[in-house]
Structure 1
């Protein structure tokens, strides 16, 4: 198949390539941008001038000389606008205001007592309005809102099925765009978390990554060849509903024995457990104090996490596993049993040069990744696939 484009499209693609090169490598000289992109110096200079005029790139310097006049260095203007990243959890709504470079400007959260759509929307709109009001003055203002949700989302931002919320066919993107008149991106929360780790966290420059979001449920963001893998229709990564107990507990998804019933915060609600609290933050505090029931429960969760992670390693052969979400706060107690089970059960060649780590972004990875998706939408992340 031939792929063609007129001169305007070629210019738009080249401009996007230059902008993202500067964004990822600034401060950087025009000559270095030319080397990295393969574009000639005249093209780079002309398009950089346009980007400076649009206030997306600034000049400062001078940089190091290679023998001639010291070059002016190009910087991505991260303060050209702001984005809002949101994570919708089962028991909590969390949101962050970021600049275009992913730096956090403000963070808010509020508890969710019920999951009725009008109630959740009211809370979501309130937290968005508060962040918009606190955003610093900038050339472009609020350029987008990104939302990570615990469920299946299609390419149009429709939440098809979120079993832990009891939602089906919720057109969340359309609702928020109508309310705030800015572009909105909606994705599964694990996909958003994978983007956060890939661009700002523990997975920079990683080509084959599995991001495991372990909190009120479990989901996986899958990066293959440096690209987010979503499957044939966009629903890949619902690994929390992978069966690990054939005749196990019934799950809200309609199946039984699902991984997240044994390795997520859903385990805290078992009335037979003698836990001193019912949230990860509180249980981490008790674990630090050596409370035996808490330590024993974290060990069990770690072992069950290891079982599911082993299945994913044997299936995808990644180079890096990142454990994120609320349970990443419990790394000191989950890490050893998780790695032990993986070492015992993973196929020998699959665990060669494999690294398992916990998120550097902690429980904020999904929010930051959701905000990053909004940034990319604003900057026009143009790609041509042959």
Structure 2
């Protein structure tokens, strides 16, 4: 099925409104009801749209009015989060409901990345498309990792890895996608702790400006550069997960981490002036005392705090937010980009 522009707009309305009648859709799109109904037929035949129910007939009789919605079972998208020290994958339906989610702590690098992704694809079960989130400069239009210091990748192209439609996106932008309905302007700071804690941490920022993900002219918006290690001692990510107190064994390095991280966060906040900023990813693994120290140093360096209180929150979901956010970003592209939607629908129809 090759959908037209109006059919794509109908799908976008249903994605936003969840349930609508043909008349309501027509009113939103400034199109008469009969034209909407005619364009709905192929969508109903392909089971992309379904009849959710009926409004009761009026006292004057006539046919009952159909209540329409997207078919949650029509498409299943696999969202994958790839970080230095773990991978997480979540399967979601066409209504963005998460069906399953799994996580694995592992040292991810250039040598094992492709094998790990193939293992995830094999274990995820039935899915129709994928959205993969990674740290670094990502050209999502070409499905290419331009450069990722965290994963030691350069000009890494994912085409050919999977035959199904897929989207490649920066991990912090994927996480920020989960907040599209919560704030008009937001910065989501994603901390990625490597498997070996003596290596530099990764810190990126996902930007939402005007309720849209902002990637920048060269796909590098939100790249904050390589961070500093949490400790110089021989400690693994698994050790940290078992006992966060291991960080206090090297106070000097920990102090450098706090100062470096707070400075980068404050700089980004001063530039964007968001209504909300979130600390996500591996920030949840840090002891609360460390988090409070970082936020206090941020507040001391942010100009706007002189006139108002900063709104911030900790995202406790870690890499799950990135994986589910990758799905959300996939659907955001699907409902806003006609050519991308056509590509997904055509491949779905071909059974790939």
- In the superposition, the TM-score normalised over structure 1's length comes to 0.73
Measured after TM superposition, the shift of residue 147 of structure 1 is 0.9
Within a 5 Å distance, the mapping from 1:76-91 to structure 2 comes to: 76-91=70-85
SS at match of 2:6: helix
Kept in 2, the 8 Å contact 1:213–1:220? The answer is yes
User: 1:359 and 2:315 equivalent?
Assistant: yes
Once residues 66 and 207 of structure 1 are traced to their aligned partners in structure 2, the CA distance between those partners, rounded to angstroms, is 40
Which of 167, 172, 179 does residue 153 from structure 2 map onto? 167
Correspondence 1:109 to 2:103: yes
Q: Distance in 2 between matches of 1:351 and 1:205?
A: 23
Distance 1:19 1:114 in 2: 38
Q: Residue 138 of structure 1 aligns with which residue?
A: none
Q: 1:84 to 1:292 in 2, by over 3 A?
A: closer
One of 189, 192, 204 as aligned partner of 1:212: 189
Counterparts of 2:81 and 2:279 in 1: how far apart (Å)?
16
Matches within 5 A, 1:296-307: 304-307=260-263
The structure-2 alpha-carbon separation of the partners of 1:341 and 1:34, relative to structure 1 and needing over 3 Å to count, comes to farther
1:321-340: CA deviation from partner (whole Å, max 9, x where unpaired) = 12221223548445533432
User: In the aligned structure 2, how far is the partner of 1:352 from the partner of 1:41?
Assistant: 48
Number of aligned positions between the proteins: 326
- Paired residue secondary structure (2:47): coil
Give the conservation status (yes or no) of the 8 Å contact 1:62–1:71: yes
The secondary structure found in structure 2 opposite 1:197 is: coil
How far, CA to CA, are the matches of 2:145 and 2:131 in structure 1? 14
1:293 to 239, 242, 248: 248
Tell me how far 1:106 sits from its aligned partner. 2.4
CA drift of 1:377 comes to: 5.2
Contact kept, 8 Å, 1:299 with 1:333, in 2: the verdict is no
Equivalent position SS for 1:187: strand
The CA RMSD measured in Å over matched residues stands at: 3.4
Where structure 2 has 5 or more consecutive residues not aligned to the other structure, the ranges are: 194-201, 340-352
Which runs of 5 or more structure 1 residues have no equivalent in the other structure?
1-8, 136-141, 199-203, 242-257
Structure 1 Cα separation of the partners of residues 246 and 144 of structure 2: 43
Change (3 A) 1:95 1:215: same
2:54 and 2:285 map into 1 onto residues whose CA distance is 43
Query: How do 1:40-189 and structure 2 match up within 5 A?
Result: 40-63=32-55, 71-113=65-107, 115-117=109-111, 119-131=112-124, 134-135=125-126, 142-154=127-139, 155-172=141-158, 174-176=159-161, 180-189=162-171
**Partner residue, 1:252:** none
Deviation, 1:278, is 3.5
Shift of 1:111: 4.1
Q: Which deviates further from its counterpart, 162-171 or 105-114?
A: 105-114
Distance 1:64 1:283 in 2: 59
- Secondary structure class of the residue paired with 1:28: coil
2:338 is paired with a residue whose SS is: coil
CA distance in 2: counterparts of 1:292 and 1:170, whole angstroms = 34
* Change in 2 beyond 3 A, CA 1:381/1:354: farther
State the secondary structure of the residue aligned to 1:79.
Answer: coil
Q: Which has a greater percent of strand? A: 2
Aligned to 1:323: 279
| Other structure's SS at 1:271 match | coil
